[in-house]
Structure 1
Amino acid sequence: MIPINTSITLTDAEIELTFSRSQGPGGQNVNKVNSKVTIHWDLKHSSSIAAFIKRRIQSKHSNRINNDGKLVLSSQQHREQYRNREDCFQKLRVIIVDALKQRKARKITRPTRASKQRRLNNKKKHSLRKSMRQQRFTN
């Protein structure tokens, strides 16, 4: 059981952990220890979260979801496997908690007088610049 917040916990059956060798410098430790952690969370078949949360996660993190409908997260920042594992779980928590937040609808406002004036000034400058490029022949 992985607790996300007070109301949401993910079951172990929904999450698959894989371990592999990390990239980058580190010498003997990197070459012999599987410290990189990758989480595959079955988002499509998850019963722990509501459908609207799933849709938000799918739309916002579509680049992290594979063809099987699994959200894939990995971490290899730390030397120890357990710290990378905790880092992956923290990334997952942040994604889910962010999807729980209700987005505020934008309140429609009218343009201010100053913004209208700036727009008109820019139009005049642009028009002047274009008219200066024209060649005028007088007889």
Structure 2
Amino acid sequence: MGNGPVTINAHLTIPDSELVERFVRASGAGGQNVNKVSTAVELRFDVAGSPSLPEALRTRLLARRDRRMTGEGVLVIDAQRFRTQDRNREDARERLAAFIQASLSVPKARVATKPSFGAKMRRLDAKKERSQIKRARTTRNWE
């Protein structure tokens, strides 16, 4: 369709045949130009059905809560930042690459820890101090 494959890293490239590009008129300000010229790009990439993605990466991408992902696992990127179709096309591809790169590394599992004894004591001392301050504010000896 267009600018060739999208390179994610040394080991992963998405062929052009898996990308669907639609050119539409952009929304927003721009006067006659924006109403006349289809410069906005809608890039679709089928994450669920892509043969070039490793299975683990596909699972991570589909698990992400992202409003650009449809129910069928198709990522839709809308690019209309620039005035030319070409720049918007590059922008859409860059954003696709960034989206996939964000899921390349496996997030480190969080190890649950408990607050130390010292931390607990500091917290309680702070609470006691605060309560003293508040208690001192009340007027006790009114007649």
TM over 0.5, shorter chain: yes
**Displacement after TM superposition at 1:116 (Å):** 0.9
Question: Match for residue 120 of structure 2?
Answer: 116
Is the contact between residue 6 and residue 16 of structure 2 (CA under 8 Å) also seen in structure 1?
yes
Question: Match for residue 51 of structure 2?
Answer: 47
- Which of residues 19, 31, 34 in structure 1 aligns to 2:38? 34
The separation in 2 between residues aligned to 1:119 and 1:82, in whole angstroms, is 58
The structure where helix makes up a greater share of residues is 1
Find out whether 1:79 has 2:83 as its counterpart.
yes
Question: Match for residue 58 of structure 1?
Answer: 62
Question: Match for residue 137 of structure 1?
Answer: none
Is the contact between residue 48 and residue 62 of structure 2 (CA under 8 Å) also seen in structure 1?
no
The separation in 1 between residues aligned to 2:11 and 2:20, in whole angstroms, is 22
Question: Match for residue 139 of structure 2?
Answer: none
Find out whether 1:99 has 2:98 as its counterpart.
no
| CA shift digits 1:25-51 (9 cap, x unpaired) | 111210111011111101111111111
Find out whether 1:25 has 2:29 as its counterpart.
yes
TM-score by length of 1: 0.79
Count of aligned pairs between the two proteins = 132
| CA shift digits 1:59-109 (9 cap, x unpaired) | 224422213321111111100111111111111111111111122233444
RMSD of the alignment, in Å?
A: 2.5
Structure 2 counterpart SS, 1:44: coil
Gaps of 5+ in 2: 136-143
The separation in 2 between residues aligned to 1:29 and 1:13, in whole angstroms, is 30
**Displacement after TM superposition at 1:12 (Å):** 2.0
Gaps of 5+ in 1: 132-139
The separation in 1 between residues aligned to 2:88 and 2:118, in whole angstroms, is 52
**Displacement after TM superposition at 1:127 (Å):** 7.8
Q: State the percentage of identical aligned residues.
A: 37
